[in-house]
Amino acid sequence: MRPSVVSLANLRPHPKGQPAPNRGSRASWVGTWGDFTDARSRLSRRARIIERELRREHRTNTALWRRRLQQAARFAALAEKILETFGQDPVATPQRAAKLQGSSERLLRQVPLRTREPRDLAQQIQAAQRRHS
């Protein structure tokens, strides 16, 4: 006996000439805020953007300062989420957003700003030139 031959036409999930039924469809979670456990969630992405902006302005020499910046960024992202979902979510109130923003600012006060004095910048440029020559 000869084994049965499966034609390729039987393997197609949709009729020939028709687009795939799931092509271009969005996942159900896309556009929702999600949480910090999912790195692809809107909340996690927003926190990373805020953290990147804060790292440009603040020193991150120690692990403690980096953790404080990360936590401040998360609080700020949560505050933005609450302000955007105000009216849709019954627990989203302006008071809650203000408390989160205040927590973020209190953490940021504990991390020193980067100092960019012209004298220091000139010394850094001279040191870099000495290294390269």
Question: What is this structure's pTM?
Answer: 0.67
More confidently predicted of 105 and 2: 105
What is the per-residue pLDDT across 22-46, written as a single tens digit (0 to 9) for each?
666 666 666 678 889 888 889 999 9
Under the banding of pLDDT at 50, 70 and 90, the label for residue 92 is very high
Per-residue pLDDT tens digits for 94-120: 999 999 999 999 999 999 998 766 567
- Which own/partner contact pairs does 42-48 have at CB distance under 8 Å and 24+ positions apart? 42/81, 43/77, 43/78, 43/81, 46/77, 46/80, 46/81, 47/73, 47/74, 47/76, 47/77, 48/73
Residue 81 predicted with pLDDT over 70: yes
pLDDT at 103: 96
In 7-62, which residue ranges form alpha helices assigned H by DSSP? 8-11, 42-57
Domain ranges, ordered by start, for the chain: 31-113
Any idea which of 25-34, 50-59, 62-71 has the lowest mean pLDDT?
Answer: 25-34
Buried residues in 18-56 as b, exposed as e (16+ CB within 10 A): eeeeeeeeeeeeeeebbeeeeeebbbbebbeebbeebbe
